[in-house]
Amino acid sequence: LRESRNVYLFRFCCMTFTPLATLVLIVVPGSLKQIDAGNGQVFGVNSADEIYTLYSGVWTKVPGSLKHVSVGPAGVWGVSAGDYILNLQRGDWVVVRGLLKQVDAGGSVFPAGVNSNDDIYCLPAEGSWINIQGKLKYYSCGSYSCWGVNSADNIYIMKGVTPTKCGGSLQWEQIDGALSMIEVSTDGKVYGVNSNGDLFEREGVSSINPAGTKWRQLPLYQRIKHVSYDGGHLWLITLDNSILDCTDDLN
């Protein structure tokens, strides 16, 4: 997990970043089963539930054991193999009351997630976990909306999310398409992966129109199982746990 990288130049999904730009796809050394980027940081976990963060371009091991990790405005959160919820505070993992199988820290000040029963929760800045009606297997939040997918791979959006209203409007809106996982960046960009390992971006997403307009498939030479976006970097995990970093230039 150190510095040597293979660089490939592509022109397929460059419209994701800058029209007519050359997309730089870097194969990053190492192996991760899940990755999350937010707030200028990148965290991930491998098949042994070991935790890593990208520091000065080098993967650095973080003490602890997690099956899923998330970083964003709400801080660094994770869940253990036993579904215990942990929050990184001053370098130490602190256990937070509750159980979740997946957690997301992309909300402006709150984490959110789902438990083993696919129940949906969010945690206000001050208070206890709030149960949001519905069932989802994966849930991700941005600054003004949260997106999720259920066990049938149906896609839903929750609008009206604010720092003081983590449950949003409490009215789900179904979105066309089918995805097995979905991620919303802090700035509102939405990406997802389907059960076939295909990668998609939601076009037309804005604070005025959080649901966007349509899905666009981004052709890749490998199948993807996990995606995350932050600060011009599209991070991808392939089916064999390889790590890819897509940017729109060589900087």
Q: Name the token pair of 9.
A: 């130049």
* pLDDT number for residue 152: 99
- pLDDT exceeds cutoff 60 at 38: yes
- pLDDT exceeds cutoff 60 at 43: yes
Q: What is the pLDDT of residues 168-187, one digit of tens each?
A: 999 999 999 999 999 999 88
Strand partners, 175: 155
- pLDDT exceeds cutoff 80 at 3: no
Q: Cβ–Cβ contacts within 10 Å for residue 136, how many?
A: 26
* pLDDT number for residue 220: 86
Query: Quick one: pLDDT band at residue 127, thresholds 50, 70, 90?
Result: confident
Q: Cβ–Cβ contacts within 10 Å for residue 24, how many?
A: 18
Above pLDDT 70, what percent of the chain?
89
- pLDDT exceeds cutoff 50 at 111: yes
Strand partners, 68: 79
Mean pLDDT score, 211-235: 95
Task: Give which of 137, 113, 146, 109 is closest to 124, Cα–Cα.
Answer: 109
Where exactly are the structural domains of the chain?
6-247
Mean pLDDT score, 225-246: 97
- Residue 63 phi, psi dihedral angles, 5° rounding: -60, 145
According to CATH, the topology of domain 6-247 is Methylamine Dehydrogenase; Chain H (2.130.10)
* pLDDT number for residue 20: 40
Least confident of 1-5, 40-44, 57-61: 1-5
Burial of residue 101 (CB within 10 Å: 0-12, 13-18, 19+) is middle
- pLDDT exceeds cutoff 90 at 14: no
* pLDDT number for residue 209: 97
Q: Name the token pair of 242.
A: 């390889």
Phi-psi region of 90 (alpha: psi -120 to 50; beta: other; left: phi over 0): left
Q: What is the pLDDT of residues 67-82, one digit of tens each?
A: 999 999 999 999 999 9
Mean pLDDT score, 231-243: 97
Mean pLDDT score, 51-55: 97
Q: Across the beta sheet with 214-218, what order do the strands follow?
A: 181-184, 190-193, 199-203, 214-218
Query: Quick one: pLDDT band at residue 146, thresholds 50, 70, 90?
Result: very high
- pLDDT averaged over every residue in the chain: 91
Q: What is the pLDDT of residues 89-107, one digit of tens each?
A: 999 999 999 999 999 999 8
* pLDDT number for residue 219: 85
Task: Give which of 173, 211, 205 is closest to 189, Cα–Cα.
Answer: 205
- pLDDT exceeds cutoff 70 at 13: no
* pLDDT number for residue 57: 87
Q: Cβ–Cβ contacts within 10 Å for residue 1, how many?
A: 17
What distance in Å separates the CA atoms of residue 36 and residue 160, rounded to the nearest whole number? 24
Above pLDDT 90, what percent of the chain?
81
Least confident of 117-121, 129-133, 137-141, 184-188: 184-188
Mean pLDDT score, 117-125: 96
Please give the C-alpha separations between residue 116 and each of 14, 82, 120, 177, in angstroms, as whole numbers.
37, 10, 10, 24
